[in-house]
Amino acid sequence: MRIPRQALIDGLRAFSVAARELSFKAAAEALFVTPSAISHRIRDLEKHLGQRVFVRKTRAIELTDAGRALQSEVDPLLTGLDMAIDRAAKRSRRKILRIAAPPFLATELLIPRLASFFALQPRIDVEIQANEAVLEEHHARADVSIVMASQPPGEHVATELFRPRFVAATARSVAIVAKEAGQRLFETHRRVVYRPRANLWTQWSSVSGISLAPSDMLIQVDTLPAAVSAAERGLGIALVPTFVCERALRPGRFLRINDTEIESDELYYVVHRSDDRTRPEVRSFLSWALTELRR
């Protein structure tokens, strides 16, 4: 099977990242596509090559001998292609700014506001790396990272962006009923728990005066987007960052169940290497972020 040149390049890019991460999911996050798209691209590549490049296991993938041989040849070529694109951009005097950010913040706050950045800096292009791995540290291949941490990352220049605030929210139809439940709220409504930040519910309970019990009906998830999605569909009540509830981002899709707001013990920081502090594109992004992204 032969596939078009562009599809072949996309397949090789998907293969290279998946081979490095040994994960279709991680490759999807790095390339900002769905895991099924990665799987489809690699399947087409394997049909084109006439051999398997990965061994699929239940919870993991491994390179075959053919995959390892292909990786050793493809990675330098893709690196050279990236460098050629960068050089072409420099020749046209355009700048490329690589931004790493947690997936949820990238899709819900950063990307929806990028139009104002381009309006100010029309000759700066951006490459967004949205990956869970950049939550707490500066991404090695990024010029600027937005990280979430309890204290400024010490190795690089870190500028405080904002401390996220959370409210209990759900679909409008559920919220209207939930407001009337009062103290017995979670006897009749499921609580959506984002496991890495499960302690926020304890803080919310203390501030709101609404008690929580181990017997509460629960939906437990591992990602914040999943928690928000469950609440948005009326499956339960989730602690949602206040910027998700802003009218400009999700008009009419969420409603708070009360006025209680709590703060996370972690902050978002904009991080860059000290050697990059004088680069115009880095300085421009930092100035813009402190104006447009601070909550």
- What's the pLDDT at 186? 83
247 and 184 fall within a common domain = yes
What is the pLDDT at residue 63? 93
The one-letter code for the residue type at 19 is: A
> Residues 273, 153: one domain?
yes
Q: How many helices (H) and strands (E) does the chain have?
A: 11, 13
**What was the pLDDT predicted at 215?**
67
Question: Contact 272/286 with Cβ under 8 angstroms?
Answer: yes
State what percent of residues in the chain have pLDDT above 90: 46
Q: Are residues 169 and 259 in the same domain?
A: yes
Question: In this model, does residue 248 exceed pLDDT 50?
Answer: no
Q: How many whole angstroms separate alpha carbon 66 and alpha carbon 50? A: 11
Classified as helix, coil or strand, 53 is coil
The domain that holds 27 is classified in CATH as 1.10.10.10
Q: Could you give the CA distance from residue 248 to residue 176 in angstroms, rounded to a whole number? A: 21
Structural tokens at position 120: 């100010």
Question: Domain of 115: which CATH number?
Answer: 3.40.190.10
Residues 52 and 102 in one domain: no
Q: The dihedral of CA 114, 244, 248, 30: what is its sign?
A: positive
Instruction: Tell whether 33 and 155 lie within a shared domain.
Output: no
Specify whether 258 is located in the same domain as 270: no
Tell me how many domains the chain contains: 3
**Residue written as token pair 């041989």:** 69
Confidence of residue 251 (pLDDT cuts 50, 70, 90): low
Strands, E assignment, 142-279: 144-149, 157-162, 165-170, 191-194, 218-221, 237-241, 255-256, 262-263, 267-272
The reply to whether 117 and 186 lie within a common domain is no
Average of per-residue pLDDT values in the chain: 86
Position 210 pLDDT exceeds 70: yes
Tell me the per-residue pLDDT of 124-142, one tens digit each, with 9 for 90 and over.
Answer: 999 998 866 555 677 778 8
Q: Are residues 196 and 132 in the same domain?
A: no
Convert the pLDDT of each residue in 148-176 to its tens digit: 888 887 788 999 999 999 999 888 878 77
- pTM attached to this predicted model: 0.65
Statement to judge: residues 224 and 277 lie in one domain? no
DSSP-based helix, strand, coil % in the chain, nearest 5: 50, 20, 30
Domain residues for the domain of 216 are: 165-263
Lowest-confidence segment of 42-56, 210-224, 279-293 by average pLDDT: 210-224
Q: How far is CA 11 from CA 5, 6, 66, 77, 177, in A?
A: 10, 9, 15, 14, 49
